[in-house]
Amino acid sequence: MSALRRLVARDLVLAIRAGGGAALALAFFAAVATLVPLGVGPDLKLLVRIAAGVLWVAAVLAALLSLDRLFQADFEDGSLDLMALSPLSLEAVALAKIAAHWLSTGLPLTLIAAVLAVAYGLPASGTVALVASLLIGTPAVSAIGGIGAALTLSIRRGGLILPFIVLPLIAPVVIFGSGAVLAELDGLANGALWFLAAFSLLAVALSPFAAAAGVRLNLGS
């Protein structure tokens, strides 16, 4: 367990220092989320209705920006080969990298979304539902993205292919996440949040095994 924590801490430091991937994702998210109200105009009712969809789509696209480097840097410098030979299983390595990606990208995106919701005029109940849906759903984005990153590891310009693999699988997260906010705004039973939680739990539970299989395939082991 201590080795797993050290690996998560290492990847967090790399995500913050190397290439600014996490910072780029947050800047992209903030830019998209703030530009949309300027383009749509001052219609507050319309902004409230589209807020969840816009923020969710922006969050997913922002998370994709840093996914291609999830395994790539370690693959290029040989660190991934050493990890494969270490006592720590590749499933644990994949889990640590997915967790580090969520901590450096998904969690900050969730916190920033709570602030950006003000620009859309979301009421307090809608903002709470938005933050809850992002907290529950963004781990699935990192998990499914981790699988895609592992599968495209040895492909040249794999980052260009990665979105085509990941986006169709992430679509239910966006649908349930934005649907949960709309249900809260309309005063309806919020079953979308439960579907989102079930989907996210399944994705997080299965992703280390699928990602590890993809890494083994690319390492030829």
Residue 196 vs residues 38, 100, 178, 200, 202: alpha-carbon distances, Å: 30, 21, 10, 6, 10
> Could you report the per-residue pLDDT of 114-164, keeping only the tens digit for each?
999 988 889 998 999 999 999 999 999 999 999 998 888 877 665 678 888
**Share of the chain residues as helix, strand and coil, in percent rounded to the nearest 5:** 85, 0, 15
Cα 78 to chain centroid distance, Å, stands at 26
- Burial class of 128 by CB neighbour count within 10 A (0 to 12, 13 to 18, 19+): middle
CB 166 within 8 A of CB 67: yes
Average pLDDT on 12-35 reads: 79
Helix 158-186 to helix 44-65 angle, to the nearest 10 degrees? 150
Higher-confidence residue of 206 and 24: namely 206
Using CA atoms, how far apart are residues 114 and 129, in angstroms rounded to an integer?
Answer: 10
CB 135 within 8 A of CB 110: yes
Number of independent structural domains in the chain: 1
> Could you report the per-residue pLDDT of 38-91, keeping only the tens digit for each?
888 777 888 888 999 999 999 999 988 888 778 877 777 777 878 878 888 889
State which H helix or E strand residue 121 sits in.
none
Range of the domain at 101: 2-219
Place of tokens 């992002």: 134
The pLDDT value given to residue 137: 95
Higher-confidence residue of 79 and 212: namely 212
Q: Which runs of consecutive H residues, i.e. helices, occur in 102-190?
A: 107-116, 124-151, 158-186
Using CA atoms, how far apart are residues 163 and 165, in angstroms rounded to an integer?
Answer: 5
Place of tokens 């780029």: 24
CB 60 within 8 A of CB 169: no
pTM, to two decimals: 0.90
